[in-house]
């Protein structure tokens, strides 16, 4: 039986490192299920104030992350599509893309970070898990030996 | 809404807020005390003149900003127009200018923080208590309470940007609205306390003399530095063609009016020589709100001052990271600086380095607000002067992709005026402040010479303009352009123009042989021909898509091509006229050799060119090798020669093939009759020795029929390398009137080699003979 859950998996990647971790956790599983990957990088917009980083710089950064995903997927024989999305709310933007590509699931690897950091930078993982309208697969970070507080 | 639109989410109001928010913090809350001591009540005029100078430059920035809404603003335009030497000066100047300005804003913040916390003492058992913002004395170093406050603020602003705490658009606009609101109340109430008697001192409004107006302007010019920040975030602006000029010009105009009114009020309320030096607005607020809203008014003004200086400092730190990014992209600074933090998604290194400079300036110069302000101004003024030159260069060089939506009125008067006013104002600074600015400019020049020149490959419009017209231009300009030109990639470079990446792996292989022999690199340039009606503007979506597709395609070609482990650099050029583009790219990129393919499937075979062919091909910028590709097999190579510089090139090529691939070389020389055979053999043997091909097979044909002899000999060979015996081989090839029909007659691949003639650009520029290498 084809695993319908992993048919079209949306992989949000925050950067090359995150892409590496996410792919390590996700791609083999998706390959086994015969699914495909849509990788998305969200450029967080301030919505009327200057952004934290220049948009062009973020787009270059996104390309770096996509290169990782494309390489990993090519190695595993998984079809892959990449998208850059822009939005003021990262989680919400991911949902919009998920709608757009008819994703059967959103899969991600939570990134560490203290409560402080998440408070200040917005906890995308939490919003992804709590506000979703479709299956969310939270994958363990294979490279992460020491678990940060509250990471699970 | 498309993503393209979503990426640009700054509306006109937000952009105005950025401009006003950045400017209003500086001058009005910090400088009036110092400025009136320097110029007297007439300092109002100093503010107005500063505004006029800012406005002239604002027009220039607007035009450039609408033509190129790219991250980096001023730096980007100048680097594009004037090349990386001036790019380095403007990038470093802008960057350090922002750091100085941020330090200045922090001092302002520190001052008002001190006023707000005045007398707040932390109870400390034993000693009775410690002031919250103490003055610290460490040997010769004294850190005042204001400096301590400024340092706290500076570290806080840098930290906020480092971790990228979420800022939403509303906040910026609210801050500016609140600020303008408070200032309006201040002005309205203050109007009733205004007294001409206070303004006039001994019957004049210029007790210190009218000559002090311009030095006053030099001091307060820092108040107008904000508008250029709008240009650094131009890429985020909705409809930049309209909103960028309105926001830039509008914010300068609004701020100019606000400054004039407020400073005018101040000198009418408190005698000019008694206005507080550190926190002038608090002082004036104390007077005008006495008897009405009292403490609330004073506190509001103090809070407004904190908001304003904080927002200025914040915007400056953000803008500096944009400039770093743009410089890193052009390799003027290391891209290490622009790494994005994996968790915070901020350019943390760049922010940390800027933060370090700010802290350094605060500690070393924090006691001298005036020096901080003027150092920031001098550096910005240098940049503004260069911006005006950049505008003239773009206009004069007639760059096709330069197409601004907004154009400065009264060109060329406006940019010339901007240049003169910007440099002129520097003249009213004190020697020490000019020296400080010059130190940074000299530092930037040294940086370019020692570091950036070898890294960057970005050449400016100006030097290209001069070098491409080196006949008409004065020698001094040509040699100056040469000295300053980037040498990034002085490495041996073999360029391969590619029209269809799927079929061009032979060219890349061939190029890599030459590159390998010289420890160089191959630069594959994918020339994409687009119809005339498609704009070539670099930012256009279409072109970006082409770039991306081409990059992936070329990566694949590179992977599937035998390149002998030679580094291959991939580049895409979108052009209307691909044949001409081959030459233009070669002139720009300065490769050592160009290896191009020839055949019916290549767009340049049609030779569509606007400049006359003779002109294009007679001044070859480097060696050209044209492969008529019938499959690249290099085991048996035939080199016909009659001597001369072009067969020097064939010999060089043959040598590379032998070195790298162990090809067998046969040299062919044609003589008119059997009588000449011996002379021919002697010539050929000597020629072979001279060209380091002593072990090659030698073949002399006595038929006198060059074409026939080559065709005959080619039958047992896999590749023929022909040097053009006279100039203009390429042009004849393009016109299809090639003297050697042999190119079409033989069955194996033919490589035509043409070396630039003695009139070549290279020789005129470098004064060396190209075959000496």
Least confident residue range of A82-86, B314-318, B349-353, B557-561 = B557-561
Q: Which residues of A touch B345 (CB under 8 A)?
A: 14-15, 44, 52-53, 58, 121
Stronger pLDDT, B484 or B175, i.e. the higher one: B175
Beta bridge partners of B573: B527
**For position A41, what pLDDT does the model report?**
92
B331 touches chain A (CB under 8 A): no
ipTM of the complex: 0.85
Q: Which residues of A touch B169 (CB under 8 A)?
A: 46-49
Concatenating the DSSP letter of every residue in B211-274 gives: GGHHHHHHHHGGGGTTHHHHHHTGGGBSSHHHHHHHHHHHHHHHHHHHHHHHHHHHHHHS-GGG
* Residues near B285 by beta carbon (within 8 Å), at least 6 away in sequence: B186, B297, B298, B301, B302
pLDDT, one tens digit per residue, over B343-364 is 888 899 999 999 999 999 999 8
- Closest CB to B163 among A55, A87, A121: A121
**For position B393, what pLDDT does the model report?**
92
Q: Which residues of B touch A14 (CB under 8 A)?
A: 342, 345
pLDDT, one tens digit per residue, over B503-542 is 677 888 888 888 887 777 888 888 777 766 666 655 456 6
Q: Which residues of B touch A55 (CB under 8 A)?
A: 7-8, 71, 235-236
Axis-axis angle for helices B240-269, B32-39 (nearest 10): 70
**For position B769, what pLDDT does the model report?**
38
CB contact under 8 A, A45 and B6: yes
**For position B327, what pLDDT does the model report?**
92
A14 touches chain B (CB under 8 A): yes
Q: How far away is chain A from the Cα of B6, in angstroms, using its nearest Cα?
A: 6
Concatenating the DSSP letter of every residue in A95-133 gives: HHHHHHHT-SEEEE------HHHHHHH--HHHHHHHS-S
Residue B32 has pLDDT above 70, yes or no: yes
B2 touches chain A (CB under 8 A): no
Name the burial class of residue B98, with classes exposed (0-12), middle (13-18) and buried (19+) by CB atoms within 10 angstroms of its CB.
buried
**For position B708, what pLDDT does the model report?**
77
pLDDT, one tens digit per residue, over A98-150 is 988 888 999 888 776 666 666 666 677 777 777 778 888 888 876 654 444 43
Q: Which residues of A touch B11 (CB under 8 A)?
A: 48
Local structure of residue B295 (DSSP, 8 states)? H
Both tokens of residue B97?
Answer: 């200018």
Chain B residue with the nearest C-alpha to that of A121: B165
- Closest CB to A15 among B161, B166, B342: B342
Q: How far away is chain B from the Cα of A71, in angstroms, using its nearest Cα?
A: 12
What SS3 class is residue B548?
helix
Q: Which residues of B touch A121 (CB under 8 A)?
A: 163-166, 343-345
Q: Which residues of B touch A42 (CB under 8 A)?
A: none
Concatenating the DSSP letter of every residue in B153-171 gives: HHHHHHHHHHHT----HHH
CA distances from B167 to B163, B228, B619, B743 (A): 11, 21, 56, 67
Residue B766 has pLDDT above 80, yes or no: no
CB contact under 8 A, A52 and B161: yes
**For position B133, what pLDDT does the model report?**
66
Beta bridge partners of A138: A108
Beta bridge partners of B722: B752
Q: Are B526 and B501 in contact (CB under 8 A)?
A: yes
**For position A148, what pLDDT does the model report?**
43
Rounded to two decimals, the pTM is 0.70
CA-nearest of B76, B10, B770 to B390 is B76
**For position B99, what pLDDT does the model report?**
94
Residue B729 has pLDDT above 60, yes or no: no
- Closest CB to B6 among A52, A86, A122: A86
* Residue from A53, A58, A80, A118 whose CB has the most chain B CBs within 10 Å, to mutate: A53
CB contact under 8 A, B340 and A15: yes
Q: Which residues of B touch A44 (CB under 8 A)?
A: 345
B435 touches chain A (CB under 8 A): no
Q: Residue B626: pLDDT band by 50, 70, 90 thresholds?
A: confident
**For position B420, what pLDDT does the model report?**
96
Q: Are B282 and B309 in contact (CB under 8 A)?
A: no
Stronger pLDDT, B566 or A77, i.e. the higher one: A77
Least confident residue range of B155-164, B414-423, B535-544, B703-712 = B535-544
**For position B738, what pLDDT does the model report?**
47
Name the burial class of residue B754, with classes exposed (0-12), middle (13-18) and buried (19+) by CB atoms within 10 angstroms of its CB.
buried
CB contact under 8 A, A15 and B164: no
Axis-axis angle for helices B369-397, B43-67 (nearest 10): 40
Give the integer Cα–Cα distance in Å for B624 and B639.
16
Q: Which residues of B touch A85 (CB under 8 A)?
A: 3, 6
CB contact under 8 A, A46 and B168: yes
Beta strands in B394-520 (DSSP E): 493-498
Q: How far away is chain B from the Cα of A74, in angstroms, using its nearest Cα?
A: 13
Q: Residue B389: pLDDT band by 50, 70, 90 thresholds?
A: very high
Q: How far away is chain A from the Cα of B334, in angstroms, using its nearest Cα?
A: 15
Concatenating the DSSP letter of every residue in B462-499 gives: HHHHHHHTTTTS-HHHHHHHHHHS--TT-S-EEEEEES
CB contact under 8 A, B168 and A48: yes
Local structure of residue B201 (DSSP, 8 states)? B
Local structure of residue B195 (DSSP, 8 states)? -
B174 touches chain A (CB under 8 A): no
N- to C-terminal Cα separation, chain A: 30
B580: left (phi over 0), alpha (psi -120 to 50) or beta: alpha
Q: Residue B765: pLDDT band by 50, 70, 90 thresholds?
A: very low
Mean pLDDT computed over B442-452: 89
Q: Are A132 and A10 in contact (CB under 8 A)?
A: no
B163 touches chain A (CB under 8 A): yes
Least confident residue range of B186-200, B442-456, B683-697, B750-764 = B750-764
**For position B651, what pLDDT does the model report?**
83
CA distances from B323 to A57, B62, B88, B376, B521 (A): 11, 17, 11, 16, 30
Residue B57 has pLDDT above 90, yes or no: yes
**For position B126, what pLDDT does the model report?**
57
- Closest CB to B171 among A16, A49, A57: A49
Q: How far away is chain B from the Cα of A7, in angstroms, using its nearest Cα?
A: 25
What SS3 class is residue B722?
strand
Q: Which residues of A touch B8 (CB under 8 A)?
A: 55
pLDDT, one tens digit per residue, over A5-24 is 888 999 999 888 889 888 98
Calculate what percentage of chain B has a pLDDT beyond 90. Answer: 23
Cis before B412? omega within 30: yes
Q: Which residues of B touch A111 (CB under 8 A)?
A: 342-343
CB contact under 8 A, A122 and B3: no
CB contact under 8 A, A50 and B10: yes
* Residues near B259 by beta carbon (within 8 Å), at least 6 away in sequence: B27, B28, B47, B51, B223
Both tokens of residue A45?
Answer: 């917009």
Both tokens of residue B558?
Answer: 């590179």
Both tokens of residue B589?
Answer: 């990129």
Number of H helices, E strands in chain A: 5, 5
Q: How far away is chain B from the Cα of A69, in angstroms, using its nearest Cα?
A: 14
CB contact under 8 A, A50 and B346: no
Q: Which of B27-36, B102-111, B584-593, B723-732 has the highest mean pLDDT?
A: B102-111
Residue B95 has pLDDT above 90, yes or no: yes
* Residue from A40, A51, A58, A118 whose CB has the most chain B CBs within 10 Å, to mutate: A51
B335 touches chain A (CB under 8 A): no
CB contact under 8 A, B163 and A120: yes
**For position B610, what pLDDT does the model report?**
47
Neighbours of B768 (CB within 10 A): 10
Least confident residue range of B194-203, B571-580, B704-713 = B571-580
CA distances from B311 to B18, B19, B172 (A): 9, 10, 8
**For position B669, what pLDDT does the model report?**
83
CB contact under 8 A, B3 and A52: no
B337 touches chain A (CB under 8 A): no
Both tokens of residue B379?
Answer: 């550096």
Neighbours of B135 (CB within 10 A): 12
- Closest CB to A52 among B7, B164, B315: B164
Chain A residue with the nearest C-alpha to that of B12: A48
Residue B608 has pLDDT above 60, yes or no: no
B346 touches chain A (CB under 8 A): yes
pLDDT, one tens digit per residue, over B242-258 is 999 999 999 999 999 99
B349 touches chain A (CB under 8 A): no
Q: How far away is chain B from the Cα of A1, in angstroms, using its nearest Cα?
A: 35
Local structure of residue B12 (DSSP, 8 states)? H
CB contact under 8 A, A48 and B9: yes
Name the burial class of residue B266, with classes exposed (0-12), middle (13-18) and buried (19+) by CB atoms within 10 angstroms of its CB.
buried
What SS3 class is residue B173?
helix
Mean pLDDT computed over B584-608: 69
Name the burial class of residue B345, with classes exposed (0-12), middle (13-18) and buried (19+) by CB atoms within 10 angstroms of its CB.
buried
pLDDT, one tens digit per residue, over B188-230 is 888 888 888 878 777 777 778 788 899 999 999 999 988 888 8
CB contact under 8 A, A52 and B9: no
How many residues are listed for chain A in this entry? Answer: 152
Beta-carbon contacts below 8 Å between A and B: 116
Give the integer Cα–Cα distance in Å for B178 and B146.
25
């Amino acid at each position: 039986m084809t695993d319908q859950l992993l048919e079209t998996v949306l992989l949000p990647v925050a950067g090359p490192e995150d892409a590496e971790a996410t792919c390590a956790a996700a791609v083999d599983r998706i390959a086994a299920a015969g699914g495909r990957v849509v990788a998305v990088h969200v450029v967080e917009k301030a919505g009327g104030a200057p952004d934290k980083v220049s948009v062009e710089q973020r787009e270059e950064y996104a390309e770096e992350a996509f290169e990782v995903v494309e390489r990993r997927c090519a190695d595993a024989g998984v079809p892959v599509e990449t998208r850059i999305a822009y939005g003021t709310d990262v989680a919400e933007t991911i949902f919009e893309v998920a709608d757009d590509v008819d994703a059967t699931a959103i899969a991600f690897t939570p990134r560490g970070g203290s409560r402080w950091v998440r408070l200040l930078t917005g906890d995308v993982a939490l919003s992804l898990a709590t506000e979703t309208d479709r299956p969310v697969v939270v994958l363990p970070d294979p490279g992460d030996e020491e678990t940060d507080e509250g990471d699970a | 809404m498309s993503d393209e639109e979503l990426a640009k989410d700054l509306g006109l109001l937000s952009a105005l807020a950025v401009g006003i928010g950045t400017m209003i913090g500086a001058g009005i809350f910090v400088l009036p005390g110092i400025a009136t001591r320097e110029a007297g009540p007439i300092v109002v005029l100093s503010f107005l003149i500063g505004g006029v100078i800012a406005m002239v430059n604002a027009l220039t920035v607007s035009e450039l900003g609408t033509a190129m809404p790219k991250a980096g603003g001023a730096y980007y335009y100048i680097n594009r127009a004037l090349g990386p030497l001036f790019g380095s000066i403007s990038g470093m100047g802008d960057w350090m200018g922002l750091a100085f300005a941020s330090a200045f804003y922090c001092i302002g913040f520190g001052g008002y923080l001190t006023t707000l916390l005045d007398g707040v003492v932390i109870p400390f058992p034993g000693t009775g208590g410690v002031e919250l913002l103490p003055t610290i004395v460490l040997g010769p170093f004294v850190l005042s309470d204001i400096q301590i406050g400024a340092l706290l603020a500076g570290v806080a602003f840098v930290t906020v940007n480092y971790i990228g705490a979420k800022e939403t658009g509303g906040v910026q606009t609210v801050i500016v609205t609140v600020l303008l609101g408070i200032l309006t109340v201040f002005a309205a109430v203050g109007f009733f306390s205004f007294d001409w008697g206070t303004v006039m001192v001994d019957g004049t409004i210029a007790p210190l003399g009218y000559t002090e107006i311009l030095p006053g302007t030099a001091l307060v010019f820092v108040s107008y530095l904000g508008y250029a920040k709008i240009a650094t975030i131009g890429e985020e602006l909705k409809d930049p063609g309209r909103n960028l000029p309105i926001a830039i010009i509008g914010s300068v105009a609004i701020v100019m009016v606000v400054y004039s009114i407020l400073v005018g009020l101040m000198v009418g309320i408190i005698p000019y020589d008694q206005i507080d030096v550190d926190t002038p607005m608090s002082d004036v607020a104390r007077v005008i709100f006495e008897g009405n809203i009292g403490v609330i008014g004073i506190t509001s003004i103090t809070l407004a001052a904190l908001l304003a200086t904080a927002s200025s400092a914040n915007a400056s730190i953000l803008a500096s990271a944009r400039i770093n990014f743009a410089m890193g992209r052009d390799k003027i600074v290391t891209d290490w600086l622009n790494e994005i933090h994996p968790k915070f998604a901020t350019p943390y290194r760049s922010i940390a380095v800027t933060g370090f400079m700010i802290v350094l300036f605060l500690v070393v110069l924090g006691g001298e607000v005036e020096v901080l302000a003027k150092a920031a101004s001098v550096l910005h003024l240098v940049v503004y002067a260069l911006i005006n030159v950049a505008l003239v260069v773009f206009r004069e060089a007639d760059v096709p992709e330069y197409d601004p939506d907004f154009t400065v009125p009264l060109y060329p008067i406006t940019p010339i005026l901007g240049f003169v006013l910007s440099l002129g104002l520097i003249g009213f600074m004190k020697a020490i402040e000019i020296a400080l600015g010059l130190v940074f400019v000299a530092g930037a020049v040294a940086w370019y010479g020692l570091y950036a020149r070898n890294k960057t490959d970005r050449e400016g419009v100006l030097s290209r303009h001069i070098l491409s017209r080196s006949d008409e231009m004065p020698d001094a300009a040509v040699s100056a352009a040469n000295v300053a030109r980037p040498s990034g990639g002085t490495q041996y470079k073999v360029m391969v123009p590619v029209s269809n990446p799927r079929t061009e792996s032979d060219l890349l292989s061939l190029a890599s042989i030459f590159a390998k022999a010289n420890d160089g690199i191959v630069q594959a340039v994918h020339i994409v021909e687009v119809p005339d009606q498609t704009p070539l503007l670099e930012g256009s979506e279409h072109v970006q898509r082409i770039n991306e597709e081409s990059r992936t395609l070329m990566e694949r070609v590179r992977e599937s091509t035998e390149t002998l482990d030679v580094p291959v650099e991939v580049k895409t050029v979108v052009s209307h006229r691909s044949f001409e583009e081959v030459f233009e790219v070669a002139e720009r990129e300065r490769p050592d050799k160009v290896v191009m393919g020839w055949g019916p499937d290549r767009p340049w075979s049609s030779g569509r060119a606007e400049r006359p062919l003779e002109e294009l091909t007679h001044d070859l910028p480097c060696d050209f090798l044209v492969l008529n590709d019938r499959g690249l097999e290099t085991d048996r190579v035939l080199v016909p020669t009659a001597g001369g510089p072009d067969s020097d090139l064939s010999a060089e090529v043959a040598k590379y093939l032998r070195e790298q691939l162990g090809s067998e070389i046969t040299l062919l020389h044609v003589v008119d009759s059997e009588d000449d055979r011996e002379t021919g053999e002697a010539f050929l043997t000597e020629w072979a020795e001279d060209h380091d091909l002593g072990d090659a097979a030698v073949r002399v044909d006595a038929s006198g029929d060059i074409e026939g002899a080559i065709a005959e000999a080619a039958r047992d060979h896999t590749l023929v390398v022909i040097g053009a015996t006279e100039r203009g081989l390429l042009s004849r090839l393009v016109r299809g009137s090639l003297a050697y029909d042999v190119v079409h007659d033989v069955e194996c691949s033919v490589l035509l080699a043409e070396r630039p003639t003695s009139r070549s650009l290279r020789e005129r520029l470098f004064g060396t003979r190209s075959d000496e290498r």
